[in-house]
Amino acid sequence: MIHSNEVLNVVLFLAVLLPSIICHEVAHGWVAERFGDPTARDAGRITLNPIRHIDPFGSVLVPGLMAFAGGPIFGWAKPVPVNPARLREPTPHMAIVALAGPATNLLLAFVVAMAVRWPMVTHPACTGFGQLVDQAGRSLDTQCLGGGEGVLTGGLATRIFLAVVVVNIVLAIFNLLPIPPLDGSRLLPLVLPEGARIAYYRFSQYGIIILFALLFMFRGALSFVWDWTGWIVGKII
């Protein structure tokens, strides 16, 4: 049985997810344009219009299934097109373009975290990051940060702001994983020796399969994303 608090949390997180993903993708295209590649601009992708960015599978279905299954909320939009050959310095500039998306998500999370006066609460059961539940398994109005501290989430505004912080941190960490087609897959080859880099590029064609397997078949393999999210949230709130 899904309780009303849980349903509200899922709805809020999904509502926050789409604009956060759009900001992530627009950042890639905007930075690429600064470095000489107007491909995203020419494709009409440097815009906040969601219609230009929505991927029905990655922006709606996957995050919805993950949210209602009680796992970390992952998602993606249509990748913004970038042509490395048109960048003034392809190797270093491509790395910065790849980092622009996660950096934007972290910036959004930090700004909101700093701007809000969070209603803090102490509870002995708050030993780790996650929603506090009662003995019957019902969600209580407290989001634990660990160390006996949490955020009181009874107010709708607090829930929305917390969703912005959590979703954007999850997106940043998730997209930095070195699994194609995520942003981290653009960074790892920069530090690999030539032989390993060639092998990695061959592996990249299977990246999406590996990613889906981790998301839906071996979900525990990505539990560290949620753990790291909790650690960061606890530091900035």
160-172 pLDDT, tens digit per residue, is 999 999 999 999 9
133 inside domain: no
Burial of residue 103, with CB atoms counted within 10 A of its CB: 0-12 exposed, 13-18 middle, 19 or more buried = middle
Average pLDDT over residues 42-69: 84
pLDDT surpasses 80 at 136 = no
pLDDT at 3 over 60: no
Mean pLDDT along residues 129-140: 83
Average pLDDT over residues 78-98: 91
Cβ–Cβ contacts within 10 Å for residue 85, how many? 7
pLDDT attached to residue 167: 92
- Active-site residues, by number, are 25
Contact 74, 68 (CB under 8 A): no
5: pLDDT strictly greater than 70: no
pLDDT, mean over the chain: 88
Give the integer Cα–Cα distance in Å for 237 and 234: 6
Question: Do 173 and 229 contact (CB within 8 A), yes or no?
Answer: yes
pLDDT tens profile 102-125: 999 999 999 999 999 999 999 999
Is 72 part of any domain? yes
Query: In this structure, is residue 136 part of a structural domain?
Result: no
Mean pLDDT of all residues in 11-17: 84
pLDDT at 135 over 50: yes
Which secondary structure element, helix H or strand E, spans residue 143, and what is its range?
strand 139-146
- Please give the Cα distance from 73 to 209 (Å, whole number): 18
Beta bridge partners of 146: 149
Query: Is residue 148 over pLDDT 80?
Result: yes
Asked whether residue 22 is assigned to any structural domain, the reply reads: yes
Place of tokens 């753990």: 227
- The pTM of this model reads 0.89
Q: Is the pLDDT of residue 50 over 80?
A: yes
Cα–Cα dist 11/5, whole Å: 10
Residue 128 lies in a domain: no
Handedness of CA 59, 65, 68, 70 (dihedral sign): negative
Is it the case that residue 151 has pLDDT exceeding 90? yes
Report the alpha-carbon distance of residue 78 to residue 58 in Å, rounded: 8
The 8-class DSSP code of residue 138 comes to P
The DSSP secondary-structure symbol of 57 reads I
Q: Is the pLDDT of residue 219 over 50?
A: yes
The pLDDT of residue 2: 43
Closest by alpha carbon to 46, among 67, 27, 65? 27
Helices 156-175 and 90-115, packing angle to 10 deg: 160
- Split into its structural domains, the chain has a count of 1
User: According to the model, what pLDDT value does residue 71 have?
Assistant: 62
In a domain, 80, yes or no: yes
Which amino acid does the sequence have at 4? Answer: S
pLDDT at 55: 85
Residue 123 placed within a domain? no
Cβ atoms of 32 and 97 within 8 Å: the answer is yes
So what's the pLDDT on residue 1? 37
Residue range(s) defining the domain that contains residue 35: 4-118+157-236
The predicted model gives 214-235 an average pLDDT of 87
What percentage of residues in the chain have a pLDDT greater than 70? 93
CB 163 within 8 A of CB 67: no
Partners of 129 in the beta sheet?
145
Sign of the Cα torsion 20, 22, 24, 27 reads negative
- Confidence band of 81 (pLDDT split at 50, 70, 90): very high
- The answer to whether position 137 is within a domain reads no
